[in-house]
Chain A
């Protein structure tokens, strides 16, 4: 009896130790992969200062040339595009334009506000995490790039992107693809150069630099010009932080930016489901086979009883 007790205690200690060890190991890996990624330390970014943009559209033109996009219907010095509405919406990016500038008339101001828009290059991009063929990559330089060679064209990235950035080349039957801003990765960013739109901006509304420096710069401008800016850098924390960020003199929802976006990456709202997948895969087979055994128990018992009776009869005979 004593021996038994000892053994069970030892066993108890042993298993306890093993469990602790396992917990430590699991905890370690957990904290590494828990989705608190705040961007590559040397990732580049751009700070867009809406107070400086005058709506000259030269960034649009530069982007069009740099990326070899088709010539637009209206030339880039035609400002009537600011009045265009599609389904009551202002212009948006599409398969012919990776960036667009929109005008927002402000009743309280004597001048309108212009907003340039393009891919914000999230730290933890929703397009990337939702893609089932890994067509997207977040490069250490900060760009979110796309590989058309593996893309299947399911357009889930377009569903997932909280900024409505990726667009699809619907016009093509044989070589459709996603069209989106890639931070001029191939031609400029990789070589340490600023993207074409930043370089061409005559107002210095766009400032290119390390993402961390862009945040400091934004804070500095807000601090040094009391009353001029809204005290918020859009993109510092939105959906886990983006490489492109904005400062503005008006509330961001007045210039068509979604201020209701969550602070964590989009992926976090999907994790609840992803967590149940391994559980279902491992628990269901045992559970349902168990149900089967229970459900057919009666038949089994009846069969055994019959067998016994048969044997009894044989024995009697």
Chain B
């Protein structure tokens, strides 16, 4: 893409009109203003796409196999570990990393921090896609996936934590679609829609905070159903929801730092100057937010250990593993953030964000898989399960890139505000 943008002044597309004054058609916009041949040429020139093709060429048949031969064909069909990677990574890992939407929505729209405006849309998109793919992961994992709407319409179990998760994720997904729609409306030129959404922004943002607080927390609270199965260090029935909610704050912020870093480095042609010039400033700002959330998280983690009188567990092997997780996944990046913010070392901040995101996934997989049934045996996921998880994540990556290539996420649409 870089090659083309150097040769042609009219692309990347950032307004409705071509050089000669005629309008871009939707098809041309979808092809990024390239001819079909050129489009495929740039597609195959990118080595990342080859990797994606290899992953999908095995992963998609496996995925189809899951729907034809059942879950038992791709997983170990364990009755001791009913939840595997699809939920452990796909739901419990993706959802905290997608807290970005409500975080920056709140910062910009609610707290009026217009200085973060340039990153808001990316954060909203990151949130929307993360949730959407978490639901897709769920659809792979659910035994009767075709009954997804049952808890909403057919048979209601409102006293259950999962009921809250289902309703909140569903409503929040709609809220996020509404929040990202203005970018789509600008791109296809329907400004009336954008104005309609504009009127509801405050309401949508407040709804976003409520729903996020509750379902990020509810994901944690799901494990309070298993007080005798999850290792006591990873489960605090009183504080579990705060742990999950609080850690989603720095997870979401770190994910935006990661996404924006990747976009600036590999999609520089797509970013406009506002985005590029503001990026360092907003990155430092988000790192500050993340480090505040991290110290809060660390303290309530310690409070939970104290509250449940679990100090003696810290001296066991599990305790070392627990401290390793907190040390590498939280304390280390927190210190890196601190040093990075103080000295304005953007590179250090970006590496820290990457470690933070991995740390959160690690924590969620620990809670749902590794430290689950800690007194039993260790379940190692089936290779097909691992492959399908990677495949879905690759599709998530490609969808993400597809949208950032086109919609005004990291650039401003030039006509029709």
Give the residues from 93 to 121 in chain B that come closer than 8 angstroms, CB to CB, to chain A: 106, 109-113
A135→B225 contact, CB < 8 A: no
Q: Count of chain A residues with Cβ under 8 Å from any Cβ of B?
A: 59
CA distance A184 to B156 in the complex (A): 26
CB within 8 A of B147: which of A130, A134, A152, A292? A152
B150→A133 contact, CB < 8 A: yes
Residues of A within 8 A of B237 (CB): 269-270, 272
Residues of B within 8 A of A266 (CB): 225, 227
> Chain B nearest CB: distance from A62 CB in Å?
22
Residues of B within 8 A of A156 (CB): 82, 160, 162, 222, 225
A168→B214 contact, CB < 8 A: no
A31 is an interface residue with CB less than 8 A from chain B: no
Interface SS of chain B:
helix
- A230-271 to B contact mask, C-beta < 8 Å, 1/0: 000000000000000000000000000010111000100110
Q: Count of chain B residues with Cβ under 8 Å from any Cβ of A?
A: 65
B4 is an interface residue with CB less than 8 A from chain A: no
A295→B110 contact, CB < 8 A: yes
- A255-294 to B contact mask, C-beta < 8 Å, 1/0: 0001011100010011011101100110011001101100
A37 is an interface residue with CB less than 8 A from chain B: no
A138 is an interface residue with CB less than 8 A from chain B: no
A47 is an interface residue with CB less than 8 A from chain B: no
> Chain B nearest CB: distance from A237 CB in Å?
15
B214→A133 contact, CB < 8 A: no
Contacts between the two chains (Cβ within 8 Å), count: 180
> Chain B nearest CB: distance from A99 CB in Å?
14
Residues of B within 8 A of A213 (CB): none
Which one of B111, B145, B221, B225 has the highest number of Cβ atoms from chain A below 10 Å of its Cβ?
Answer: B225
Interface residues of A (CB under 8 A from B): 87-89, 92-94, 126, 129-135, 150-156, 158-160, 162, 164, 166-173, 176-177, 258, 260-262, 266, 269-270, 272-274, 276-277, 280-281, 284-285, 288-289, 291-292, 295-296, 299
Interface residues of B (CB under 8 A from A): 66-73, 75, 77, 79-80, 82-83, 106, 109-113, 141-145, 147-148, 150-151, 154-157, 159-166, 202, 206, 209-210, 213-214, 217-218, 220-229, 237-238, 240-241, 376-377
Q: Knowing that A134-B155, A171-B77, A272-B238 are A-B contacts, what are 7 other residue pairs whose CB atoms are under 8 Å apart, sorted by A's residue number?
A: A132-B166, A152-B151, A155-B83, A156-B160, A158-B79, A270-B225, A274-B221
